[in-house]
Amino acid sequence: MSQGFLPRIEASGLDAWMLRLFDQIDESNLAWLTALTRQCEQQLGSALVDLVPSYTTLLVVFDPLQMDPDQAYQQLHQLLENLQPDSAAIQGRLHELPTWYDESVGPDLKRVADKTGKTLEEVVALHTGTEYQVFALGFAPGFAFMGLVAPDLECPRLDTPRQRVPAGSVALTGRQTAAYPAVTPGGWNLIGRTSASLFDPQREEFSLLQVGDRVRFLAVDRQTFVSEGGDPAPAEVESL
């Protein structure tokens, strides 16, 4: 990343400023980013259009007809000067995602085991043994990038992405993990499937997971998975 003092406010078009707080991914970034996100919501009023928090940054999108970009810059500068991180007490909610770990719905479970030198049971134990944080949402509605996956479970992405990853698929790559909210293409290693509904336009909060939330995967058997609404149809073992 470019040199310079942090935090920084960077140009990002006529209607946005990029607030860069950190230069690398760390779980302790989140308390600052969630605090900043909330401050922007409270202070920018009706001129605020969108906020996109990610691992190290917050993109602030505003209406340049309502708020002059220079004025927005000044206000954001002020917010950064007085920023305090969120305390543990107001950190994100904890979600438990019931997940059926099985080769039929997690066709890369064995690949991950082979690449990491673990048994299938050890892979599941390692994946369920960590409480993850949501660093960013993107790629698709409700798709949450979570981490950090145990170093022992690090596994590269597939050489060729799948054309069609089933909804609910639980996946990992590198030190990140995620669950696919809807059918999309995808290149991560599929190791199971959750019955949780991750994105629903009918729900008040459309996305189940939000930046700053914490997530645990709970291993459940097929019966529990199905009774909680999970779709047990096997994933196609294509590698196109």
**Residue 199 in the binding site for another protein (CB under 8 A):** yes
**Residue 210 in the binding site for another protein (CB under 8 A):** yes
Burial-class residue 233 by CB neighbours within 10 Å (0-12, 13-18, 19+).
Answer: exposed
DSSP 199: B
C-alpha–C-alpha distance, residues 160 and 157, integer Å = 8
Tell me which of 27, 68, 121, 238 binds another protein, using CB under 8 A: 68
**Residue 117 in the binding site for another protein (CB under 8 A):** no
Q: Do 20 and 7 form a contact (C-beta atoms < 8 A)?
A: yes
Tell me which of 146, 211, 215, 220 binds another protein, using CB under 8 A: 211
- Pick out residues in 2-61 that bind another protein (CB under 8 A): 2, 8, 10-16, 18, 20, 24-25, 37, 49-59, 61
C-alpha–C-alpha distance, residues 132 and 215, integer Å = 5
**Residue 179 in the binding site for another protein (CB under 8 A):** no
Residue 80 CB, nearest approach to another protein (Å): 15
Torsions phi, psi for 61 (to 5 deg): -110, 130
**Residue 136 in the binding site for another protein (CB under 8 A):** yes
**Residue 143 in the binding site for another protein (CB under 8 A):** yes
Tell me which of 91, 115, 139, 148 binds another protein, using CB under 8 A: 139
**Residue 197 in the binding site for another protein (CB under 8 A):** no
Pairing state between β 214-219 and 94-100: parallel
Per DSSP, the three-state class of 114 is helix
Residue 216 CB, nearest approach to another protein (Å): 21
Residue 173 CB, nearest approach to another protein (Å): 13
Among the candidate windows 113-121, 132-140, 149-157, 216-224, which touches another protein by CB under 8 A? 132-140
Burial-class residue 167 by CB neighbours within 10 Å (0-12, 13-18, 19+).
Answer: middle
The string over 44-69, giving b where at least 16 C-beta atoms fall within 10 Å of a residue's C-beta and e elsewhere, is: beebbeebbbbbbbbbbbbebeebee
For another protein, the binding residues (CB under 8 A) are 1-2, 8, 10-16, 18, 20, 24-25, 37, 49-59, 61, 64-65, 68-69, 136-145, 182, 199, 201, 206-207, 210-211
